[in-house]
Amino acid sequence: MTAGPLTLTVLGCDGSYPGPGGASSGYLVQYQGASVWLDAGSGTFANLQRYVAIEDLDAVVITHEHVDHWSDLEHLAVAARYVVVRDDVPLYCEPDLVSAMRTASAATVLAWSRIGPGSKLDIGGMTFTFSRTDHPVNTLAVRVDAGGRSLGYSADSGPEWGLAQLGPGLDLALCEATFLSEREDALGFHMSAKQAGATARAAGVAKLVITHLWPRTDRRAAEEEAAASFGGPVHVASIGDRFEV
Ligand SMILES: [Zn+2]
Ligand SMILES: [Zn+2]
Protein backbone atom coordinates (compact mmCIF):
# COMPACT_ATOMS: atom_id res chain seq x y z
CA MET A 1 0.00 0.00 0.00
CA THR A 2 1.42 3.36 -0.96
CA ALA A 3 0.59 6.71 0.54
CA GLY A 4 -0.94 9.23 -1.78
CA PRO A 5 -3.59 11.84 -2.35
CA LEU A 6 -7.19 11.25 -3.35
CA THR A 7 -7.13 10.82 -7.13
CA LEU A 8 -9.62 10.40 -9.94
CA THR A 9 -8.66 8.64 -13.17
CA VAL A 10 -10.95 8.66 -16.20
CA LEU A 11 -11.43 5.15 -17.62
CA GLY A 12 -14.28 6.10 -19.92
CA CYS A 13 -16.39 9.21 -20.34
CA ASP A 14 -18.64 8.85 -23.40
CA GLY A 15 -22.29 9.58 -22.70
CA SER A 16 -24.94 6.88 -23.28
CA TYR A 17 -22.85 4.84 -25.75
CA PRO A 18 -19.17 4.66 -26.66
CA GLY A 19 -17.95 6.56 -29.69
CA PRO A 20 -15.11 5.44 -32.00
CA GLY A 21 -12.25 4.22 -29.80
CA GLY A 22 -14.05 5.44 -26.71
CA ALA A 23 -15.52 3.90 -23.58
CA SER A 24 -18.71 4.51 -21.63
CA SER A 25 -18.80 5.89 -18.08
CA GLY A 26 -16.19 4.60 -15.65
CA TYR A 27 -13.69 6.10 -13.21
CA LEU A 28 -11.01 4.92 -10.83
CA VAL A 29 -10.92 6.58 -7.41
CA GLN A 30 -7.80 5.91 -5.36
CA TYR A 31 -6.47 6.90 -1.97
CA GLN A 32 -3.43 5.54 -0.16
CA GLY A 33 -3.36 2.32 -2.13
CA ALA A 34 -7.10 1.65 -2.07
CA SER A 35 -8.85 1.46 -5.45
CA VAL A 36 -12.56 1.81 -6.20
CA TRP A 37 -14.04 1.38 -9.68
CA LEU A 38 -16.85 3.91 -9.90
CA ASP A 39 -19.25 2.93 -12.71
CA ALA A 40 -18.33 0.17 -15.12
CA GLY A 41 -19.42 1.13 -18.62
CA SER A 42 -18.22 -0.71 -21.70
CA GLY A 43 -14.49 -0.43 -22.31
CA THR A 44 -13.66 0.66 -18.77
CA PHE A 45 -12.62 -2.78 -17.48
CA ALA A 46 -9.83 -2.87 -20.06
CA ASN A 47 -8.68 0.60 -19.09
CA LEU A 48 -8.98 -0.16 -15.36
CA GLN A 49 -6.31 -2.85 -15.64
CA ARG A 50 -3.80 -0.26 -16.82
CA TYR A 51 -3.81 1.13 -13.28
CA VAL A 52 -4.82 -1.63 -10.88
CA ALA A 53 -4.65 -5.43 -10.96
CA ILE A 54 -7.97 -7.23 -10.62
CA GLU A 55 -6.59 -8.86 -7.46
CA ASP A 56 -6.10 -5.44 -5.88
CA LEU A 57 -9.50 -3.91 -6.64
CA ASP A 58 -11.10 -2.98 -3.30
CA ALA A 59 -14.69 -2.31 -4.43
CA VAL A 60 -17.01 -1.41 -7.27
CA VAL A 61 -19.69 1.27 -6.92
CA ILE A 62 -22.41 1.55 -9.60
CA THR A 63 -24.60 4.65 -9.79
CA HIS A 64 -27.59 3.24 -11.70
CA GLU A 65 -28.98 0.50 -13.87
CA HIS A 66 -28.51 2.12 -17.28
CA VAL A 67 -26.26 -0.21 -19.21
CA ASP A 68 -23.68 2.42 -20.15
CA HIS A 69 -22.74 2.50 -16.45
CA TRP A 70 -22.33 -1.19 -15.62
CA SER A 71 -22.05 -3.57 -18.60
CA ASP A 72 -18.37 -4.35 -17.92
CA LEU A 73 -19.35 -5.97 -14.61
CA GLU A 74 -19.97 -9.04 -16.73
CA HIS A 75 -16.30 -9.10 -17.70
CA LEU A 76 -15.18 -8.58 -14.12
CA ALA A 77 -17.34 -11.54 -13.12
CA VAL A 78 -15.79 -13.84 -15.72
CA ALA A 79 -12.27 -12.78 -14.77
CA ALA A 80 -13.02 -13.16 -11.06
CA ARG A 81 -14.53 -16.61 -11.50
CA TYR A 82 -12.08 -18.27 -13.86
CA VAL A 83 -8.83 -16.33 -13.95
CA VAL A 84 -8.18 -14.38 -10.79
CA VAL A 85 -10.37 -16.69 -8.70
CA ARG A 86 -11.78 -14.38 -6.09
CA ASP A 87 -15.40 -14.19 -5.00
CA ASP A 88 -15.06 -11.32 -2.61
CA VAL A 89 -15.12 -8.20 -4.79
CA PRO A 90 -17.54 -5.89 -2.96
CA LEU A 91 -20.13 -4.40 -5.29
CA TYR A 92 -22.31 -1.55 -4.07
CA CYS A 93 -25.41 -0.56 -6.02
CA GLU A 94 -29.15 0.04 -5.80
CA PRO A 95 -31.57 -2.92 -5.68
CA ASP A 96 -32.68 -2.13 -9.26
CA LEU A 97 -29.32 -3.21 -10.61
CA VAL A 98 -29.23 -6.22 -8.33
CA SER A 99 -32.49 -7.45 -9.85
CA ALA A 100 -31.36 -6.64 -13.39
CA MET A 101 -28.27 -8.80 -12.83
CA ARG A 102 -29.84 -11.70 -10.95
CA THR A 103 -29.64 -14.04 -13.90
CA ALA A 104 -26.16 -12.98 -14.88
CA SER A 105 -22.97 -14.68 -13.79
CA ALA A 106 -21.96 -11.49 -11.99
CA ALA A 107 -24.57 -12.15 -9.34
CA THR A 108 -22.81 -15.24 -8.06
CA VAL A 109 -19.21 -14.08 -7.92
CA LEU A 110 -19.47 -10.52 -6.70
CA ALA A 111 -20.27 -9.63 -3.10
CA TRP A 112 -23.41 -7.53 -3.46
CA SER A 113 -24.45 -4.84 -1.02
CA ARG A 114 -27.42 -2.60 -1.55
CA ILE A 115 -27.02 1.14 -1.14
CA GLY A 116 -29.38 4.11 -1.34
CA PRO A 117 -29.42 7.87 -0.83
CA GLY A 118 -28.72 7.59 2.92
CA SER A 119 -25.88 5.11 2.67
CA LYS A 120 -22.38 5.76 3.92
CA LEU A 121 -19.46 3.55 2.94
CA ASP A 122 -15.95 3.52 4.33
CA ILE A 123 -13.51 1.97 1.88
CA GLY A 124 -9.76 2.20 2.39
CA GLY A 125 -9.87 5.53 4.19
CA MET A 126 -12.40 7.00 1.74
CA THR A 127 -15.93 7.87 2.82
CA PHE A 128 -18.64 7.53 0.16
CA THR A 129 -22.02 9.24 0.54
CA PHE A 130 -24.87 9.48 -1.95
CA SER A 131 -27.67 11.68 -3.25
CA ARG A 132 -30.66 10.71 -5.43
CA THR A 133 -30.51 12.55 -8.78
CA ASP A 134 -33.06 13.67 -11.37
CA HIS A 135 -33.07 10.72 -13.80
CA PRO A 136 -35.73 8.26 -15.07
CA VAL A 137 -34.35 5.37 -12.97
CA ASN A 138 -33.06 5.45 -9.38
CA THR A 139 -29.65 7.07 -9.68
CA LEU A 140 -27.09 7.97 -7.04
CA ALA A 141 -24.68 10.87 -7.25
CA VAL A 142 -21.55 10.17 -5.23
CA ARG A 143 -19.39 12.18 -2.85
CA VAL A 144 -15.99 10.88 -1.79
CA ASP A 145 -14.13 12.39 1.16
CA ALA A 146 -10.55 11.42 2.01
CA GLY A 147 -7.57 13.16 3.55
CA GLY A 148 -9.45 16.42 3.86
CA ARG A 149 -10.35 16.53 0.15
CA SER A 150 -13.77 16.08 -1.45
CA LEU A 151 -14.82 14.72 -4.85
CA GLY A 152 -18.35 14.97 -6.23
CA TYR A 153 -19.75 12.95 -9.14
CA SER A 154 -23.17 13.73 -10.57
CA ALA A 155 -23.67 10.34 -12.22
CA ASP A 156 -26.55 10.95 -14.68
CA SER A 157 -28.99 13.72 -13.84
CA GLY A 158 -31.28 16.38 -15.19
CA PRO A 159 -31.15 19.93 -13.84
CA GLU A 160 -33.74 19.41 -11.09
CA TRP A 161 -30.91 17.96 -9.03
CA GLY A 162 -27.74 19.94 -8.29
CA LEU A 163 -24.20 19.36 -7.06
CA ALA A 164 -24.99 21.35 -3.92
CA GLN A 165 -27.03 18.35 -2.76
CA LEU A 166 -23.74 16.53 -2.25
CA GLY A 167 -22.86 19.09 0.41
CA PRO A 168 -20.47 22.03 0.53
CA GLY A 169 -16.74 22.14 -0.06
CA LEU A 170 -16.29 20.04 -3.20
CA ASP A 171 -12.69 20.43 -4.38
CA LEU A 172 -13.42 18.72 -7.69
CA ALA A 173 -16.78 18.04 -9.31
CA LEU A 174 -17.19 15.56 -12.13
CA CYS A 175 -20.48 16.56 -13.70
CA GLU A 176 -22.39 15.14 -16.59
CA ALA A 177 -22.85 17.45 -19.59
CA THR A 178 -24.47 15.25 -22.19
CA PHE A 179 -25.22 17.85 -24.85
CA LEU A 180 -25.26 21.56 -25.61
CA SER A 181 -27.97 23.88 -24.31
CA GLU A 182 -29.89 23.68 -27.59
CA ARG A 183 -31.07 20.19 -26.53
CA GLU A 184 -32.15 21.08 -23.00
CA ASP A 185 -35.88 21.19 -23.65
CA ALA A 186 -36.00 17.88 -25.51
CA LEU A 187 -34.15 15.76 -22.95
CA GLY A 188 -34.68 16.95 -19.41
CA PHE A 189 -33.13 13.95 -17.69
CA HIS A 190 -29.59 14.94 -18.62
CA MET A 191 -27.75 18.24 -18.24
CA SER A 192 -26.36 20.46 -20.93
CA ALA A 193 -22.84 21.81 -20.59
CA LYS A 194 -24.36 25.15 -19.64
CA GLN A 195 -26.40 23.53 -16.87
CA ALA A 196 -23.36 21.63 -15.62
CA GLY A 197 -21.45 24.88 -15.28
CA ALA A 198 -24.37 26.51 -13.50
CA THR A 199 -24.83 23.76 -10.94
CA ALA A 200 -21.10 23.70 -10.22
CA ARG A 201 -21.10 27.45 -9.69
CA ALA A 202 -24.14 27.23 -7.39
CA ALA A 203 -22.40 24.54 -5.34
CA GLY A 204 -19.22 26.60 -5.09
CA VAL A 205 -16.99 23.82 -6.42
CA ALA A 206 -13.32 24.65 -6.87
CA LYS A 207 -12.63 22.69 -10.07
CA LEU A 208 -15.08 21.41 -12.67
CA VAL A 209 -14.60 18.48 -15.03
CA ILE A 210 -17.47 17.78 -17.43
CA THR A 211 -18.13 14.26 -18.64
CA HIS A 212 -20.74 11.96 -20.24
CA LEU A 213 -20.75 14.06 -23.43
CA TRP A 214 -22.43 12.20 -26.23
CA PRO A 215 -19.77 11.20 -28.77
CA ARG A 216 -21.23 13.72 -31.24
CA THR A 217 -21.41 16.61 -28.78
CA ASP A 218 -18.89 19.28 -29.80
CA ARG A 219 -16.26 19.23 -27.04
CA ARG A 220 -14.99 22.73 -27.67
CA ALA A 221 -18.48 24.21 -27.65
CA ALA A 222 -19.32 22.26 -24.48
CA GLU A 223 -16.21 23.56 -22.77
CA GLU A 224 -17.10 27.15 -23.71
CA GLU A 225 -20.71 26.80 -22.58
CA ALA A 226 -19.76 25.26 -19.26
CA ALA A 227 -16.97 27.76 -18.62
CA ALA A 228 -19.32 30.69 -19.26
CA SER A 229 -21.93 29.51 -16.76
CA PHE A 230 -19.34 28.26 -14.25
CA GLY A 231 -17.42 31.51 -14.39
CA GLY A 232 -13.99 29.92 -14.78
CA PRO A 233 -12.00 27.33 -16.68
CA VAL A 234 -13.57 23.91 -17.20
CA HIS A 235 -11.91 20.63 -18.21
CA VAL A 236 -13.59 18.20 -20.61
CA ALA A 237 -12.85 14.62 -19.52
CA SER A 238 -10.78 12.30 -21.73
CA ILE A 239 -9.75 8.68 -21.19
CA GLY A 240 -6.53 8.57 -19.16
CA ASP A 241 -7.00 11.92 -17.46
CA ARG A 242 -5.85 11.75 -13.85
CA PHE A 243 -6.69 14.40 -11.29
CA GLU A 244 -5.51 15.00 -7.75
CA VAL A 245 -8.71 16.03 -6.02
ZN1 LIG B 1 -25.35 7.42 -18.85
ZN1 LIG C 1 -28.55 7.03 -17.14
* pLDDT digits 0-9 by tens, 94-147: 988 877 775 566 667 788 899 999 999 999 999 999 999 999 999 999 999 999
Ligand 1: centre distance to CA 14 (Å): 8
- Residues lining ion ligand 2 (Cβ < 5 A) are 66, 156
- What stretch of H or E contains 73? helix 73-78
Q: CATH for 7-244? A: 3.60.15.10
Express each pLDDT in 32-59 by its tens digit: 999 999 999 999 999 999 999 999 999 9
Query: What does DSSP assign to residue 118?
Result: T
What are the tens digits of pLDDT across the range 194-230? Answer: 999 999 999 999 999 999 999 999 999 999 999 999 9
Contacts of 99 (CB under 8 A, 6+ apart): none
Query: Ligand 1 centre from 4 Cα, in Å?
Result: 30
Q: State the amino acid at position 132 in one-letter form.
A: R
Distances (CA, A) of 124 to 3, 36, 85, 183, 211: 11, 9, 22, 40, 26
pTM listed for this prediction: 0.96
Spacing, Cα 5 to ligand 2 middle (Å): 29
Rounded distance from Cα 45 to ligand 1 centre (Å): 16
pLDDT at residue 182 in the model: 95
> Nearest bound ligand to CA 139?
2
User: Is the pLDDT at 2 greater than 60, yes or no?
Assistant: no
Average pLDDT, integer, range 63-68: 96
Which ligand is closest in space to the CA of residue 17?
1
Task: Name the region of 92 (left: φ>0; alpha: ψ -120 to 50; beta: rest).
Answer: beta
CA atoms of 93 and 231, how far apart (whole Å): 34
**Segment holding 219, helix H or strand E:** helix 219-230
SS3 label, residue 120 = strand
Give residue 103's pLDDT: 59
Residue spans of the domains in the chain: they are 7-244
Q: Which residues contact 26 (CB under 8 A, 6 or more apart)?
A: 11, 12, 37, 38, 39, 40, 41, 43, 44, 45, 47, 48, 69, 72
How many angstroms separate the alpha carbon of residue 17 from the centre of ligand 1?
Answer: 8
pLDDT in tens, 182-194: 999 888 999 999 9
Longest dimension (CA), the chain: 50
Contacts of 202 (CB under 8 A, 6+ apart): 162, 163, 164
234 DSSP β-pair partners: 208
Ligand 2 centre distance from Cα of residue 70 (Å): 10
156 CA to middle of ligand 1, Å? Answer: 6
Per-residue DSSP letters for 86-99? ---EEEEE-HHHHH
**Ligand lying closest to the C-alpha of residue 136:** 2
Q: State in Å: Cα 1 to ligand 1 middle.
A: 32
Q: Supply the DSSP symbol for 179.
A: B
What pLDDT is attached to residue 92?
A: 95
Ligand 2 center to residue 156 CA distance, Å? 5
